[in-house]
Amino acid sequence: NAGVTQTPKFQVLKTGQSMTLQCAQDMNHNSMYWYRQDPGMGLRLIYYSASEGTTDKGEVPNGYNVSRLNKREFSLRLESAAPSQTSVYFCASSERAARAYEQYFGPGTRLTVT
Amino acid sequence: LAKTTQPISMDSYEGQEVNITCSHNNIATNDYITWYQQFPSQGPRFIIQGYKTKVTNEVASLFIPADRKSSTLSLPRVSLSDTAVYYCLVGDTPLSGSARQLTFGSGTQLTVLP
C-alpha cells in the first residue's frame, strides 16, 4: 500500500515549456487535491476533485489545468510554465469530500522554472 | 472559512509536553478543527481532528473549550523527531463552497532541543 505517489520528484523547466505532474492513490479515495507550497509558506489549493468525473478550482488555479483520469489518478498540467510557478507541488486524497479535512499527502514534486 | 492565528514558532526540550494554541474567533457551528504536521521536504500528515471538548489519539490530544474560539494541540513528551511545522485548519464539510479557501496558513514551527 503506497498511499499517494507523485512523479516526477524533481523537474526543471524553461519559461514557456509545458509539463504534467502525475498523482496516483491506492486507498480507494474519492476526492483528490493539488496544492502548491512556496518557500516558508503554507499550502495553497490549486484544484480539487470531489469525486471521479468532477474537478473544481481552488484558491490559485490560474496557469494550471487538471484531469481526473480515473478514481486513482489526478494530474496537474502547466501549459506554459512561468518563474512564478516555481514551487513544491503536493497531491493529496481524502476518503470523500465530506472528509476533506482528513487528507493524505504525497511526497511532493519540486519544480523550478528558469 | 474561519481565519486561524497560531504562533510563528515555539521551542521546547526533549521530554517536555508541548501545547500549541490556535485562535479561531469566527468559527462556525459546522466547523471542525484539524491539525497537521509537516517535516521538511515532506507532505503534511494528518494528526488529529475534533469538534468540541477533548480528543485523544496515539499521537496527540486536542483540547477545545466550550466556546470553540480556540483549540490547543498537546504533544506529550516530545522528542527531537517532533521538530516540524504544525498547521491548524478550521472549516466545515462537504467540500463544495469552502474548498476554494482550504489553506494551511503558515503554521507553527516547533523546534525540540536536546
Report pLDDT digits (tens) over A55-92. 998 889 999 999 999 999 999 999 999 999 999 999 99
Alpha carbon of B16: minimum distance to chain A alpha carbons (Å): 26
Q: Judge if the upstream peptide bond of residue B7 is cis by omega within 30 degrees of 0.
A: no
Q: Is pLDDT above 50 for B100?
A: no
Q: Is pLDDT above 90 for B101?
A: no
Q: Which amino acid is at A80?
A: S
Of B41, B42, B49, the CB nearest to A101: B49
Task: Tell me if chain A has a CB within 8 Å of the CB of B44.
Answer: yes
Cβ–Cβ of B95/A31 closer than 8 Å? yes
Nearest one of B5, B47, B53, B8 to B26, comparing CA atoms: B5
Task: Tell me if chain A has a CB within 8 Å of the CB of B46.
Answer: yes
Q: Assign B81 to helix, strand or coil.
A: helix
Mean pLDDT over B85-113 rounds to: 75
Mean pLDDT over B56-84 rounds to: 96
Give burial (CB, 10 Å; 0-12/13-18/19+) of A103. Answer: buried
Number of C-alpha atoms within 13 angstroms, CB side, residue A16? 0
Q: Is pLDDT above 80 for B99?
A: no
Give the C-alpha distances (Å, rounded to integers) separating B105 from A42, A73, B1, B6, B36.
5, 27, 12, 9, 11
Mean pLDDT over B38-45 rounds to: 92
Q: Which residues of chain B are within 8 Å of residue A50 when distances are taken between CB atoms?
A: 94-96, 99
Give the torsion sign (CA, B87, B90, B92, B97).
negative
pLDDT in tens, A9-44: 999 999 999 999 999 999 999 999 999 999 888 888
Cβ–Cβ of B102/A58 closer than 8 Å? yes
Choice between B2 and B98, residue whose per-residue pLDDT is larger: B2
Q: Is pLDDT above 90 for B31?
A: no
Q: Is pLDDT above 80 for A99?
A: no
Task: Pull the grid cell for residue A96.
Answer: 470523500
Are the C-beta atoms of residues B35 and B62 closer than 8 Å to each other? yes
